[in-house]
Chain A
């Protein structure tokens, strides 16, 4: 419904620029008359309201559990029960499960609880230990780059408030800013994605990975690329200024070769699949790698791009990098993990197929919307704006697909430590992507372009979508590989710190960015807009600190998953007879979940 209401606004907004010449637009008495603003406002408040509902439902849940706990009964033994015979429960029924649920929670009356207990990770069929080791190395490398990249990001954020905090050339703002963006792009997100790809591609192909050695080579090449790039940038060696294109081509070549090795690996694995169909995850993942290699070659071949050619390729490169690499790949990972974590199939396979082709069709067009009203050809700008509006289709198809998969399993979100991350990622996929569409119109672009609003947008997308989805999948996959789980309270801590931090980071920047754009349009002296932003930049630094702190917690969680508490065996049988004898109670947490799953 929302879609139908908004789409006409989007199309109408396209008419405004031309009308502006003939008749001067109404003096903007209220910002809320601008369609771009309305769309953005709705988009921004949506995730906040959803999260509030989630938090309320949890509090409510807790309340219910306390009442259930008032049922008479002994303290249940916490140790796992396993009859070791692998029998499925014989007499499981909804009623039995309910009783069991109540009993299993009895022990909670004795402890003061601050966090809800979540489902434990479930032991799955083993992955070949050699492959598991490779994936763990990818994910750990990614975590290291996340810590480094966001430490740098936090530091440059502080520099907006304290510009004289240091006077070292290697640490100056202009050099560190690309260190931050490139480290989180190519180090954190890319390595985490590839690591997850090495899990998903063989799994859905039902075939072993084609060549393990190439996986390792790819890992080291990309790590080397980010390390060399970081040092180059700090030393003042860069590629002349295009965003996300700051590494010089010899450095990016390492990354490209790494991608190529993984691409060959994945395609060979898919060629040897034992399933007939190619599961849609593999469409997204393999295409993402192919497209990224094409983009990188186009952008980095060092023999062309004179004059404005550079700008046209820059717009193309930077936006395809974001949409065809990070977004496409992550959608592939999501199409595997979301159904798996919800323990049900994806709502509509067909919608995923449609979204795939439409995404390619529209997304490829939109690069130059970063240079609206600049001197690049007008028709190219218009194509980009139309493509941006067209992105509504794949984004809506994708979001609907994921939310419909969630449907009927909302209660699973509260009892899982991975699903909240997926939910945030999906909601931001919708709001963040459409915010990009709203920013591309010429009227809104006029106000928001060049301001801090774009910084907020890039963090909503790269952080709210990509990073949250990656965290979700890492929490889903690492315990399976290492058989160790993170501490649930700390996963929760990570989640809320990151989420609240992101809100503190982005909302002030969006408000400040809007005010800044209005001051510019009003012809106010530039310096006034800098002075005005001071408070908003302070809030950004506070939000950024929360985000950074959450990454420390995440890193600790990763460490715990490497060598923490072991996953307990799932009891493969529940003896219902025992349930009827309260004196002989020893139902474990796991058995409760096992039973719930059977019922579901």
Chain B
């Protein structure tokens, strides 16, 4: 057929363009999506959201949290800090359209203005911390730029039975005699956040690999430098509660600066135990989660963190060796 004739016939021209576009769309989008939908099953150990966590997911959606927080661990080495393994399609299988008005919420996100939350329930298991952080993130992370959500809390003269009180430092309250109480909205949201935990793959399933490993850093001969940066590990694992200055938060998280536990050179075991298994011995502070176990810290990493804490902010205790810590970690290990 004559090309000019074809191009001068609006039915043929626009018809051809539509067919080309539609055909390609079907191949690269519609069919793959249908295929995924058809072969879509959650992992055997996956736990469905509880009622409260489901309500929390609604709060998460309504407030556009996905704008800053991803929920995907990519198959890249740099994403290791967000989960134990790269995300797989089955991780998202339980998501179906929210209701007839709204789409599926896989909440994978495309921007990390804030941290990834795939495994936040494991990485930061403290309910107290999450509530305080939602009330105003800068109470716990001074340089945070996350929005505050004070409308999910109530500030009132006294708490009533059943109220969940948040230990907000006095300077963040309108009146220092008031108490801050979490509303249902905040409690649901925290339940949702705590429910975000990577499900282990069934035994025997090969885990997808983290690609793009960085080149090992060259170490100068004869130099016995620890491979771990204690300050960085402290910042990543401990700082959001105990703070960069080691002073903690009054009424919420205890100080490590001048702390008896940290300075005690004869009982390093207690410190290792607290790091690995958590601590809830002091009523005036929130409970500490078993952060070392949750974040899968190695003996080298724990050693670096302990040495950082023992020698920073004016603390001047004896450093510990990785060999000792390895032994102590074995000793405090709890049956799972």
Chain B residues within 8 Å of A534, by CB = 143
A310 close to B28 (CB less than 8 A): no
B7 close to A375 (CB less than 8 A): no
Q: Indicate whether A277 reaches chain B with its CB closer than 8 angstroms.
A: yes
With A309-B37, A360-B17 known as contacts, the answer to whether A278 contacts B7 (CB < 8 A) is yes
Closest to B98 in A: A240
With A283-B13, A375-B88 known as contacts, the answer to whether A312 contacts B33 (CB < 8 A) is yes
B144 close to A304 (CB less than 8 A): no
Contact check: which of A271, A291, A320, A384 meets B10 at CB < 8 Å?
Answer: A271
A531 close to B96 (CB less than 8 A): no
Interface residues in A305-332 (C-beta closer than 8 Å to B): 305-313, 315-316, 320, 324
Chain A residues within 8 Å of B279, by CB = none
Chain A residues within 8 Å of B40, by CB = 306-309
Shortest C-beta distance, B105 to chain A (Å), equals 4
Chain B residues within 8 Å of A290, by CB = 14, 17-18, 21
Interface stretch, picked from A1-9, A17-25, A561-569, A583-591, is A17-25
- The interface centre, meaning the residue of A20, A168, A304, A455 with most chain B CB atoms within 10 A of its CB, is A304
B147 close to A313 (CB less than 8 A): no
Q: How many B residues are at the interface, by size bracket?
A: 35 or more
Q: How many A residues are at the interface, by size bracket?
A: 35 or more
Q: Give complex CA distance A490, B110 in Å.
A: 38
A237 close to B62 (CB less than 8 A): yes
Shortest C-beta distance, B150 to chain A (Å), equals 5
With A17-B212, A236-B62, A374-B72 known as contacts, the answer to whether A312 contacts B24 (CB < 8 A) is no
Q: Indicate whether A242 reaches chain B with its CB closer than 8 angstroms.
A: yes
A307 close to B147 (CB less than 8 A): no
Chain B residues within 8 Å of A178, by CB = 64, 67
Q: Indicate whether A40 reaches chain B with its CB closer than 8 angstroms.
A: no
A172 close to B147 (CB less than 8 A): yes
Q: Indicate whether A73 reaches chain B with its CB closer than 8 angstroms.
A: no
Q: Indicate whether A84 reaches chain B with its CB closer than 8 angstroms.
A: no
B214 close to A361 (CB less than 8 A): no
A305 close to B103 (CB less than 8 A): yes
Q: Give complex CA distance A531, B142 in Å.
A: 10
B34 close to A309 (CB less than 8 A): yes
Chain A residues within 8 Å of B97, by CB = 302-306
A248 close to B101 (CB less than 8 A): yes
Q: Indicate whether B336 reaches chain A with its CB closer than 8 angstroms.
A: no
Interface residues in B29-73 (C-beta closer than 8 Å to A): 29-30, 32-34, 36-37, 40, 61-68, 70, 72
Shortest C-beta distance, A581 to chain B (Å), equals 54
A377 close to B32 (CB less than 8 A): yes
Closest to A169 in B: B151
A525 close to B235 (CB less than 8 A): yes
Interface residues in B257-305 (C-beta closer than 8 Å to A): none
Contact check: which of B65, B102, B145 meets A174 at CB < 8 Å?
Answer: B65
* Total inter-chain residue pairs, C-beta < 8 Å: 281
A239 close to B102 (CB less than 8 A): yes
Shortest C-beta distance, B295 to chain A (Å), equals 13
A380 close to B103 (CB less than 8 A): no
Chain A residues within 8 Å of B62, by CB = 175, 236-238
Q: Give complex CA distance A24, B213 in Å.
A: 7
With A164-B138, A286-B14, A523-B232 known as contacts, the answer to whether A307 contacts B68 (CB < 8 A) is no
B110 close to A243 (CB less than 8 A): yes
Q: Indicate whether A480 reaches chain B with its CB closer than 8 angstroms.
A: no
B17 close to A287 (CB less than 8 A): yes
Q: Give complex CA distance A24, B218 in Å.
A: 13
Q: Indicate whether B86 reaches chain A with its CB closer than 8 angstroms.
A: yes
Q: Give complex CA distance A309, B104 in Å.
A: 9
Contact check: which of B75, B93, B98, B143 meets A527 at CB < 8 Å?
Answer: B143
Chain A residues within 8 Å of B95, by CB = 306-307, 310
A364 close to B104 (CB less than 8 A): no
Shortest C-beta distance, B301 to chain A (Å), equals 12
Closest to A26 in B: B215
Shortest C-beta distance, A416 to chain B (Å), equals 32
With A375-B86, A375-B89, A525-B236 known as contacts, the answer to whether A175 contacts B211 (CB < 8 A) is no
With A310-B95, A375-B86 known as contacts, the answer to whether A175 contacts B104 (CB < 8 A) is no
Interface stretch, picked from A120-128, A216-224, A365-373, A459-467, is A365-373
With A167-B148, A241-B66, A450-B70 known as contacts, the answer to whether A308 contacts B92 (CB < 8 A) is yes
Chain B residues within 8 Å of A408, by CB = none
B106 close to A308 (CB less than 8 A): yes
B105 close to A308 (CB less than 8 A): no
Q: Indicate whether A430 reaches chain B with its CB closer than 8 angstroms.
A: no
A283 close to B17 (CB less than 8 A): yes
With A174-B63, A267-B10, A525-B235 known as contacts, the answer to whether A163 contacts B21 (CB < 8 A) is no
A364 close to B24 (CB less than 8 A): yes
- The interface centre, meaning the residue of A21, A249, A528, A530 with most chain B CB atoms within 10 A of its CB, is A530
B74 close to A373 (CB less than 8 A): yes
Closest to A362 in B: B24
With A240-B102, A375-B86 known as contacts, the answer to whether A163 contacts B138 (CB < 8 A) is yes
Contact check: which of B63, B105, B216 meets A175 at CB < 8 Å?
Answer: B63
Contact check: which of A21, A238, A312, A525 meets B232 at CB < 8 Å?
Answer: A525
A311 close to B63 (CB less than 8 A): no
- The interface centre, meaning the residue of B36, B93, B107, B150 with most chain A CB atoms within 10 A of its CB, is B36
B112 close to A451 (CB less than 8 A): yes
Q: Give complex CA distance A26, B21 in Å.
A: 41
Q: Indicate whether B108 reaches chain A with its CB closer than 8 angstroms.
A: yes
Chain A residues within 8 Å of B100, by CB = 302
With A277-B8, A307-B36, A380-B32 known as contacts, the answer to whether A174 contacts B76 (CB < 8 A) is no
Q: Indicate whether A454 reaches chain B with its CB closer than 8 angstroms.
A: yes
Contact check: which of A243, A316, A521 meets B214 at CB < 8 Å?
Answer: A521
A302 close to B101 (CB less than 8 A): yes
Chain B residues within 8 Å of A377, by CB = 32, 36
Shortest C-beta distance, A372 to chain B (Å), equals 8
A164 close to B110 (CB less than 8 A): no
B37 close to A307 (CB less than 8 A): yes
Shortest C-beta distance, B65 to chain A (Å), equals 6
Chain A residues within 8 Å of B93, by CB = 306-308
With A307-B37, A360-B21, A451-B112 known as contacts, the answer to whether A267 contacts B63 (CB < 8 A) is no
Q: Give complex CA distance A501, B130 in Å.
A: 38
B236 close to A526 (CB less than 8 A): yes
Chain B residues within 8 Å of A368, by CB = 28
Q: Give complex CA distance A138, B160 in Å.
A: 57
Shortest C-beta distance, A332 to chain B (Å), equals 12
Interface residues in B225-249 (C-beta closer than 8 Å to A): 232, 235-236, 239
Q: Please name 12 further chain A to chain B contacts, defined as beta carbons within 8 Å, in addition to the given A24-B216, A290-B21, A537-B145, sorted by A numbering.
A: A164-B138, A169-B63, A172-B63, A241-B103, A246-B64, A287-B21, A313-B33, A368-B28, A373-B75, A384-B28, A446-B212, A526-B81
11 A-B pairs within 8 Å (CB atoms) are namely A173-B64, A240-B98, A246-B64, A298-B29, A306-B96, A311-B92, A316-B25, A320-B25, A360-B20, A375-B89, A442-B212
Q: Which residues of B contact A (CB under 8 A)?
A: 4, 7-8, 10, 13-14, 17-18, 20-22, 24-25, 28-30, 32-34, 36-37, 40, 61-68, 70, 72, 74-78, 81, 86-89, 91-98, 100-113, 115, 136-138, 141, 143-151, 211-216, 232, 235-236, 239
> Which 7 interchain pairs have the tightest Cβ spacing?
A174-B64, A236-B62, A525-B235, A316-B29, A450-B112, A240-B105, A309-B33
